[in-house]
Protein backbone atom coordinates (compact mmCIF):
# COMPACT_ATOMS: atom_id res chain seq x y z
CA UNK A 1 0.00 0.00 0.00
CA UNK A 2 1.76 3.17 -1.17
CA UNK A 3 -0.19 5.25 1.36
CA UNK A 4 1.46 3.61 4.37
CA UNK A 5 4.43 5.94 3.84
CA UNK A 6 2.27 9.06 4.30
CA UNK A 7 1.04 10.66 7.52
CA UNK A 8 -1.78 8.68 9.13
CA UNK A 9 -5.23 10.19 8.48
CA UNK A 10 -8.77 9.15 9.33
CA UNK A 11 -10.51 6.52 7.23
CA UNK A 12 -13.57 7.07 5.12
CA UNK A 13 -15.59 4.68 2.98
CA UNK A 14 -15.14 4.35 -0.78
CA UNK A 15 -17.45 1.98 -2.66
CA UNK A 16 -18.12 1.24 -6.30
CA UNK A 17 -20.78 -0.44 -8.39
CA UNK A 18 -17.99 -1.37 -10.82
CA UNK A 19 -14.80 -2.36 -8.96
CA UNK A 20 -14.06 -4.29 -5.77
CA UNK A 21 -11.03 -5.01 -3.60
CA UNK A 22 -8.96 -7.84 -5.02
CA UNK A 23 -11.25 -8.50 -7.99
CA UNK A 24 -10.18 -8.36 -11.65
CA UNK A 25 -11.09 -5.13 -13.46
CA UNK A 26 -13.74 -5.57 -16.16
CA UNK A 27 -12.97 -4.71 -19.79
CA UNK A 28 -14.80 -1.37 -19.47
CA UNK A 29 -12.00 -0.09 -17.21
CA UNK A 30 -9.06 -1.31 -19.31
CA UNK A 31 -7.13 1.00 -21.66
CA UNK A 32 -8.40 1.13 -25.24
CA UNK A 33 -4.95 0.07 -26.48
CA UNK A 34 -5.35 -3.12 -24.42
CA UNK A 35 -8.83 -3.84 -25.81
CA UNK A 36 -10.90 -2.03 -23.21
CA UNK A 37 -13.38 0.85 -23.15
CA UNK A 38 -11.13 3.15 -21.07
CA UNK A 39 -13.99 4.23 -18.79
CA UNK A 40 -13.48 5.37 -15.22
CA UNK A 41 -15.48 3.26 -12.75
CA UNK A 42 -18.41 4.56 -10.72
CA UNK A 43 -17.24 5.65 -7.24
CA UNK A 44 -19.20 6.73 -4.13
CA UNK A 45 -17.84 7.89 -0.79
CA UNK A 46 -19.04 8.69 2.71
CA UNK A 47 -17.70 9.39 6.17
CA UNK A 48 -15.72 12.53 5.42
CA UNK A 49 -14.78 14.40 8.59
CA UNK A 50 -15.87 17.89 9.57
CA UNK A 51 -13.67 20.44 7.88
CA UNK A 52 -13.75 18.72 4.49
CA UNK A 53 -13.81 21.49 1.88
CA UNK A 54 -13.18 19.42 -1.28
CA UNK A 55 -12.13 16.00 -2.51
CA UNK A 56 -9.50 14.54 -4.79
CA UNK A 57 -9.80 11.17 -6.53
CA UNK A 58 -6.77 9.28 -7.76
CA UNK A 59 -5.93 5.95 -9.37
CA UNK A 60 -2.38 4.68 -8.92
CA UNK A 61 -0.64 1.45 -10.00
CA UNK A 62 2.34 0.84 -7.69
CA UNK A 63 3.17 -2.37 -9.59
CA UNK A 64 3.96 -0.69 -12.93
CA UNK A 65 7.49 -1.51 -14.12
CA UNK A 66 8.85 1.92 -13.18
CA UNK A 67 10.51 3.11 -9.95
CA UNK A 68 7.62 5.54 -9.40
CA UNK A 69 4.58 3.45 -10.33
CA UNK A 70 1.98 4.81 -12.77
CA UNK A 71 -0.73 7.42 -12.19
CA UNK A 72 -3.87 6.56 -14.19
CA UNK A 73 -6.16 9.33 -12.93
CA UNK A 74 -5.78 12.43 -10.77
CA UNK A 75 -8.84 14.63 -10.16
CA UNK A 76 -8.68 17.63 -7.81
CA UNK A 77 -10.97 20.33 -6.43
CA UNK A 78 -14.11 18.17 -6.36
CA UNK A 79 -16.74 20.16 -4.42
CA UNK A 80 -17.42 19.02 -0.85
CA UNK A 81 -21.10 18.56 -1.80
CA UNK A 82 -20.16 15.83 -4.30
CA UNK A 83 -20.09 12.28 -2.93
CA UNK A 84 -19.94 10.20 -6.11
CA UNK A 85 -18.68 10.11 -9.66
CA UNK A 86 -20.55 8.15 -12.35
CA UNK A 87 -18.99 5.57 -14.65
CA UNK A 88 -17.12 7.41 -17.41
CA UNK A 89 -17.13 10.42 -15.10
CA UNK A 90 -17.98 13.86 -16.28
CA UNK A 91 -16.49 16.02 -13.57
CA UNK A 92 -18.47 18.52 -11.49
CA UNK A 93 -17.36 22.16 -11.66
CA UNK A 94 -14.74 23.32 -10.64
CA UNK A 95 -12.94 19.97 -10.48
CA UNK A 96 -10.45 18.97 -13.16
CA UNK A 97 -7.91 16.28 -14.00
CA UNK A 98 -4.20 16.85 -14.19
CA UNK A 99 -2.15 14.92 -16.73
CA UNK A 100 -1.74 11.28 -15.83
CA UNK A 101 1.42 9.33 -16.59
CA UNK A 102 0.07 8.53 -20.08
CA UNK A 103 0.04 12.27 -20.76
CA UNK A 104 -3.75 12.64 -20.95
CA UNK A 105 -6.13 14.53 -18.68
CA UNK A 106 -8.74 11.82 -18.42
CA UNK A 107 -8.83 8.39 -16.84
CA UNK A 108 -6.36 6.01 -18.50
CA UNK A 109 -7.41 2.39 -18.07
CA UNK A 110 -5.29 -0.50 -16.89
CA UNK A 111 -2.71 -1.78 -19.37
CA UNK A 112 0.01 -3.77 -17.60
CA UNK A 113 2.57 -5.59 -19.73
CA UNK A 114 1.30 -8.90 -21.13
CA UNK A 115 2.23 -11.75 -18.77
CA UNK A 116 3.22 -9.45 -15.90
CA UNK A 117 2.13 -10.17 -12.33
CA UNK A 118 -1.34 -8.88 -11.42
CA UNK A 119 -1.20 -5.13 -10.87
CA UNK A 120 -3.08 -3.36 -8.06
CA UNK A 121 -5.05 -0.24 -8.91
CA UNK A 122 -5.51 2.03 -5.88
CA UNK A 123 -8.67 4.06 -6.46
CA UNK A 124 -8.54 6.57 -3.60
CA UNK A 125 -10.77 9.41 -2.45
CA UNK A 126 -9.05 12.07 -0.35
CA UNK A 127 -11.07 14.42 1.89
CA UNK A 128 -9.24 17.74 1.61
CA UNK A 129 -9.18 20.68 4.05
CA UNK A 130 -9.10 23.38 1.33
CA UNK A 131 -11.50 24.15 -1.53
CA UNK A 132 -8.63 24.14 -4.00
CA UNK A 133 -5.27 22.40 -3.80
CA UNK A 134 -3.79 25.40 -5.59
CA UNK A 135 -2.50 23.42 -8.56
CA UNK A 136 -3.39 23.84 -12.22
CA UNK A 137 -3.92 21.32 -15.00
CA UNK A 138 -0.18 21.37 -15.78
CA UNK A 139 0.75 20.01 -12.33
CA UNK A 140 2.24 16.54 -12.24
CA UNK A 141 0.63 13.75 -10.23
CA UNK A 142 3.67 13.91 -7.93
CA UNK A 143 3.03 17.60 -7.17
CA UNK A 144 -0.65 16.86 -6.49
CA UNK A 145 0.35 13.99 -4.18
CA UNK A 146 2.80 16.23 -2.35
CA UNK A 147 0.06 18.82 -1.76
CA UNK A 148 -2.39 16.11 -0.69
CA UNK A 149 0.09 14.92 1.95
CA UNK A 150 -0.42 18.25 3.75
CA UNK A 151 -4.15 18.72 3.15
CA UNK A 152 -5.75 15.26 3.44
CA UNK A 153 -8.08 14.84 6.42
CA UNK A 154 -9.28 11.32 5.55
CA UNK A 155 -8.82 8.73 2.85
CA UNK A 156 -10.80 5.79 1.50
CA UNK A 157 -9.74 3.26 -1.09
CA UNK A 158 -10.80 0.31 -3.18
CA UNK A 159 -8.09 -1.79 -4.83
CA UNK A 160 -9.04 -4.03 -7.76
CA UNK A 161 -6.40 -5.88 -9.78
CA UNK A 162 -5.72 -6.60 -13.42
CA UNK A 163 -3.46 -8.84 -15.48
CA UNK A 164 -3.67 -10.33 -18.95
Question: What's the domain count of the chain?
Answer: 1
pLDDT at site 92: 97
pTM over 0.95: yes
By residue range, what is the domain housing residue 94?
2-162
pLDDT at site 105: 95
pLDDT at site 164: 86
Residues of the chain with pLDDT under 50: none
DSSP state of 23: S
Separation between Cα atoms, residue 90 and residue 18, nearest integer Å: 16
CATH code of the domain containing 116: 3.90.280.10
Separation between Cα atoms, residue 73 and residue 52, nearest integer Å: 21
Amino acid sequence: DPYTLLPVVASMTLTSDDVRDGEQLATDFIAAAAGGANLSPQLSWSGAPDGTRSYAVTCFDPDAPTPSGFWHWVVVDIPATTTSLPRGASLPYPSFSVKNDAGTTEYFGAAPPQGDVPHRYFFVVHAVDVESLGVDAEASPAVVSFNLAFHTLARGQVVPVYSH
